[in-house]
Amino acid sequence: MRDRGRTRRLMGLGARTGGAMLKTRLGGQANWRALGEALFEGLSELKGPAMKMAQMMSQWDDLLPPDLAEELARLQRQAEPMPWPRIREALVLQYGELDEHFREIEERPFASASMGQVHKAITRDGETVVLKVQYPGLSEVLESDLAQLKRIMRLGRWFKVPQARLDAMFEELAAGLRDELDYLAEARALERYRARYAYDSRLIIPEPLMALCGTRVLAMRFVEGTPLRGLESADDATRQQVAATLADWITEELFTFGELHADPHAGNFAADAQGRLIIYDFGAVITVPEDRLMAMMALLKATLEKDAMAMDEAMLKMGGRQGQGAPLSLYREAAECVAPLFAPGEQDFGDVRVHRRLRELSPKVWGAMDRLQPPADTLLLSRALNGHYWNLVRLKARLDMHARVTPLLNWAVVAPAER
């Protein structure tokens, strides 16, 4: 991976991003389309952490300025693939003579992402597999890219986010990205999840071929499916089946196993012809301690009860609030936005009124950042939950969230010794 010019281009993107944010904060009209185009042109070739951050942002497409959201979505769909000769070098480094292992490897990837791209192949035994290949040289430039990303994150100080909190958020993000570089760890995660959910016929988790896996190449049996974004136009029964499976799986991950799939990029999920949920990517799996789950449920309980003082107490305990003066009116507005999704009976995640209210609330949240901030140690958890929520929105899910969360709220108030 070319190192020359990366720093200059990342710094330039940081300056453009900062300028747009500052202009908006001062009451002006930022050119979000131009910023999005600059991000697409710069990051689709650079790959790495900054592109990963942009893809994370794109998951919240209903809350971003529309022009910026459109360009970030294009970054997900049309990221410039790395030329085949560079990818072949990585494969040769892993396998030696490729003909000894594969009859054929498709040179054109069928998926490109921030940290690697995926190529279909046929083994000597005639089996169709997919090879997830880490971009050559990424590990060598990761730390310098992270240093530039840290500088870009300092823009958060304009919104009165303390430097110590920005540093803690950066360290959590950086640790997650470093973990994603270890493809053997992802192969072991695939094995663990396959064993864990072997009983659930609604889920499909591809089998890793451990003999062909290495730290920078992951080999899996090919499982064909329709990507999650492609299901937006599918029949309602299929969408509801996939949505219910996704919601059940996330709940069991968190409250039974204390883990969460932390990369809810829509491209990591698909459905097969029978409507079963396919989960392709396990490069980011985080541990979620029980006390953090209990704190989250305390905040949800206070939100559903529309108790602004209890919401503030929960935020303080989570480390998500500082300074003088609780933003009680903002809490009340947030509760009014969220509560309808948890009313008794089936609720429609595709209801645009909910998204419109969230969009309208977003500037007020930014305006209260001197008091209301994301807890530093829950960055990946919050991002993952938000991403999974938007996947349910894309599926136009109709779920009885009241019935789903009531036992979880009851669980959270029972002392561990009494469970």
Please, are residues 195 and 212 in contact by the beta-carbon 8 Å criterion? no
Q: Give the other-Cβ count within 10 Å of 324's Cβ.
A: 6
Return the sign of the alpha-carbon dihedral for residues 104, 109, 111, 113. Answer: positive
Q: How far apart are CA 351 and CA 396, in angstroms?
A: 8
Question: CB within 8 A of 187, min separation 6: which ones?
Answer: 208, 210, 213, 218
Residue-level pLDDT at 57 = 58
Q: Tokens representing 317?
A: 């305990």
Q: Counting beta carbons within 10 angstroms of the beta carbon of residue 143, is it exposed (0 to 12), middle (13 to 18) or buried (19 or more)? A: exposed
**For the segment 330-368, what is each residue's pLDDT rounded down to a tens digit?**
999 999 988 999 999 999 998 877 777 877 887 787 777
DSSP for 64-125, written as a single string: S-HHHHHHHHHHHHHPPPPPHHHHHHHHHHHHSSGGGTEEEE-SS-SEE-SSEEEEEEEETT
Residues of the chain with confidence (pLDDT) below 50: 1-2, 20-28, 63
Rounded to 10 deg, the angle between the 48-58 and 66-78 helix axes is 120
pLDDT digits (tens, 9 = 90+) for 251-260: 999 999 999 9
Q: Can you tell me whether residue 181 is helix, strand or coil?
A: coil
Name beta bridge partners: 277.
203, 271
Chain CA centroid to CA 268, Å = 10
Cα–Cα distance, 89 to 241 (Å, whole number) = 42
Grouping H, G, I as helix, E, B as strand and the rest as coil, residue 285 is strand
Q: Output the CA angle 148-150-154, nearest 5 degrees.
A: 115
Structure tokens at 331: 């809490």
DSSP 234: S
Alpha-carbon distances, residue 370 vs 17, 226, 323, 336 (angstroms): 21, 43, 7, 22
Alpha-carbon distance 267 to 151, whole Å?
29
The Cβ-side half-sphere exposure at 419, using a 13 Å CA radius, reads 12
What's the rounded Cα separation, in Å, for the pair 362 and 68?
15
Angle, alpha carbons 169-186-378 (nearest 5°): 20
On whether the CB atoms of residues 349 and 236 are closer than 8 A, the answer is no
Amino acid letter at 70? E
Token match 């697409």: residue? 40
Which 3 state secondary structure label does DSSP give 281? coil
Per the document, the length of the chain is 419
Could you tell me if 334 and 362 are in contact, meaning their C-beta atoms sit under 8 angstroms apart?
no
CA-CA distances (angstroms) from residue 9 to 3, 6, 46, 79? 11, 5, 9, 17
User: In angstroms, rounded to a whole number, what is the distance separating the alpha carbons of residues 354 and 347?
Assistant: 11
- Long-range interactions of 313-319: CB distance < 8 A, separation 24+: 315/372, 318/292, 318/375, 318/378, 319/375, 319/376, 319/377
In the chain, how long is the greatest CA-to-CA distance? 67
| Residue of 320, 327, 390, 315 whose CA lies nearest to 364 | 327
pLDDT of residue 54: 61
CB within 8 A of 124, min separation 6: which ones?
Answer: 100, 101, 102, 103
Count CA atoms closer than 13 A to 283's CA, side-chain side: 28
Residue 321, both tokens:
């609030």
CA distance 168 to 378: 10
